Amino acid sequence: MFDVGIIDFAVFEGSDEFVGMGSVKLPDKNQKVVSMSGAGIGGDVEVPISGHYDAMSVEMSFRTYSERVAVLREHRLHTIELRAAQQHEDPVTGELDVSEVKHVMVVVPKGASGGTVAPASASDITLAFSVRYWATFINGKKVDEIDQLNRIDVINGVDYNAAVRKALGR
């Protein structure tokens, strides 16, 4: 099987679906690193620190500014669920398959673009959010989860911070 692409997606806050939404730019997952150098090391080596990530941001683009978009600008935590249908193809048999990918994020609004106002066009409003929590599920199985406030760092189903929480008595 090879991955073809995203067929379509939907974004929800609770049961409210944001129909006509333009796109979502998911956060980057960049681990914090320390630089090591010294005896026996030929130069500098970056070492990622388990469970520590740079601040994550998500951007959501909308065709127009509406009351429903204004709700997402409210200064509070928002639980967002992004569901995507991804197409795959078997190059031998030609069979097509669809997988379900779901991203669940707890976000706080931090900015908005004003967009554009012009005849016969979309406004292209973009909202920016700080991500507090992010979990990804593929076909119902949790594969990734980042919760910096609770020291959870799941990658491909393995919690790399479980030993850290245990060492800290949590």
pTM of this structure: 0.89
**Coil, helix or strand for 28?**
coil
Number of domains in the chain: 1
Please report, as a single letter, which amino acid is at residue 81.
E
> CATH number of the domain that 8 lies in?
2.40.30
Residue 36 lies in a domain: no
Q: Which of 166, 157, 153 is nearest to 31 (CA)?
A: 153
> Would you say residue 47 lies in a domain?
no
In a domain, 156, yes or no: no
Residue-wise pLDDT for 59-113, tens only, equals 999 988 888 889 999 999 999 999 999 999 988 888 999 999 999 999 999 999 9
Q: Which residues have CB under 8 Å from 164's CB, separation 6+?
A: 50, 51, 151
